[in-house]
């Protein structure tokens, strides 16, 4: 099995990146016109008592608002209250607005979520073979969609799903909280997301997705919960967010093994800045494990990674039908202006003989290693460049010709990180 791992700042207490912002995707703001029509979910019979199931109300409201798509679009207003619901689909040219103290609650009855086919770039459910549960809030082949509010909340009530997952009681892969498939011009802002069964926000096969000023939380013990997962998508902005998860905070993906290779859509042109990330059992910032479609042109800056098992991690994975001749390629990665405290492992670079890591560029990095560290750097099948790095990296990374980094077409860039 060909597995590559690049692990940076394992068991980090805090990492911060500081510096001037670079020109990236987040500098190109999406522009949405005000919606000329608005209705309240109460107009469709919804009751916000936390007990009444409002799935039909949400579905009927959105079906009605679909008629305004060619009239400037519309807004669905969710007032204060606890609005219990199963899965529902959004429509194009729609704003879902959650007022302060409005909480959309995911039903804890799995029959209210529905079952859908696996994504073609995965070929199966991620956790179990076959189909998967539908996400709570869905968008399929949409354009011009906004989920926002005055810090309202979407709460997946995921504790039952975590118990079923841990006890191996599920027949299908767990659902996500919000998922957009094959959609473009999507904005998620000014809301909180809590207790997702699995992922919180999953844009897959999407373009022009901006996520900013949101809070995302799941308890440290929640199994394999993930914050934001850009997946085979492009032109992504994630900024001014606070994310604390059981597993990964932000994870870039692009499909699984032969399915991801065949689908052939990478995750590319993404920008992450001014975020606070915490991961209890995974990585604050992860690339993979499912990344067979490719990941490139990612800019990360001004981030704070804290109390995490791993700061930044690149990883690959294979299923039982993987192509033994299809080796992962990790190259052209720059990490610069990084300060870290209470770090156990500065870097763990484990390439494979047939496809080593190349053009790894480290510059202006200072990491305070804790007393439990036996060897701060671990390297195999890797080559690169370094300058002003403490503690001193592996010999394979000590080529001082960092000018070579500047002339490369850098694919992944990390600036101003605080660990």
Condensed to tens digits (0 to 9), the pLDDT of residues 166-218 reads: 999 999 999 999 999 999 999 999 999 999 999 999 999 999 999 999 999 99
- The CATH number, out of the four listed (2.70.98.70, 3.40.50.800, 2.160.20.10, 2.30.40.10), of the domain defined by the range 37-416: 2.160.20.10
353 C-beta neighbours (distance < 10 Å), count: 9
| Rg of the chain, C-alpha, whole Å | 21
Q: What is the pLDDT of residues 313-355, one digit of tens each?
A: 988 767 666 667 777 788 888 888 888 888 888 888 888 888 8
**3-class DSSP assignment, residue 395:** helix
Q: Is 0.95 topped by the overall pTM?
A: no
**3-class DSSP assignment, residue 80:** coil
Residue that is written with structure tokens 């859908």 in the block: 116
Mean pLDDT of 111-123: 96
The domain locations on the chain are: 37-416
Distant-in-sequence, close-in-space partners of 225: CB < 8 Å, separation ≥ 6: 158, 162, 196, 197, 198, 199, 200, 218, 245, 246, 247
Average model confidence (pLDDT) across the chain = 89
For residues 241 and 415, which has the higher predicted lDDT (pLDDT)? 241
């Amino acid at each position: 099995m060909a597995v590559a791992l690049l692990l940076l700042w394992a068991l980090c207490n805090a990492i911060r990146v500081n510096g001037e912002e670079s020109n990236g995707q987040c500098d190109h703001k999406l522009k949405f016109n005000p919606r000329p029509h608005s209705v309240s979910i109460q107009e469709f019979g919804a009751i916000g008592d936390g007990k009444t199931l409002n799935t039909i109300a949400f579905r009927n409201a959105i079906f009605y608002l679909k008629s305004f798509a060619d009239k400037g679009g519309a807004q669905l207003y969710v007032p204060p209250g606890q609005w219990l619901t199963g899965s529902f689909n959004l429509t194009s040219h729609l704003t879902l607005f959650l007022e302060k103290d409005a909480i959309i609650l995911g039903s804890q009855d799995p029959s209210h979520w529905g079952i859908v086919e696996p994504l073609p770039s995965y070929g199966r459910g991620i956790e179990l073979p076959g189909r998967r549960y539908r996400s709570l809030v869905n968008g399929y082949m949409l354009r011009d969609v906004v989920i926002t509010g005055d810090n309202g909340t979407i709460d997946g009530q995921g504790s039952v799903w975590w118990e079923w997952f841990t006890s191996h009681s599920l027949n299908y892969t767990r659902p996500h909280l919000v998922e957009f498939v094959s959609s473009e011009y999507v904005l998620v802002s000014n809301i909180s997301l809590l207790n997702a069964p699995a992922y919180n926000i999953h844009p897959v096969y999407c373009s022009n997705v901006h996520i900013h000023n949101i809070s995302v939380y799941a308890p440290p013990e929640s199994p394999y919960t993930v914050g934001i997962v850009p997946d085979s998508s492009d032109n992504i902005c994630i900024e001014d967010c606070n994310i604390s998860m059981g597993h990964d905070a932000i994870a870039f993906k692009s499909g699984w093994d032969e399915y991801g290779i065949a689908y052939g859509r990478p995750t590319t042109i993404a920008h992450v800045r001014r975020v606070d990330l915490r991961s209890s059992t995974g990585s604050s910032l992860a690339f993979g494990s499912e990344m067979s479609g490719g990941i490139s042109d990612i800019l990360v800056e001004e981030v704070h990674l804290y109390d995490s098992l791993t700061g930044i991690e690149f990883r690959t994975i294979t299923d039982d039908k993987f192509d033994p001749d299809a080796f992962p390629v990790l190259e052209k990665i720059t990490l610069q202006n990084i300060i870290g405290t209470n770090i156990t492992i500065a870097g763990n670079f484990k390439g494979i003989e047939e496809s080593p890591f190349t053009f790894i560029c480290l510059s202006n990095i200072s990491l305070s290693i804790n007393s439990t560290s036996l060897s701060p750097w671990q390297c195999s099948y890797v080559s690169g460049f370094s300058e002003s790095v403490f503690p001193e990296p592996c010999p394979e990374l000590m080529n001082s010709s960092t000018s070579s980094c500047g002339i490369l077409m850098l694919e992944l860039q990390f600036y101003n990180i605080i660990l």
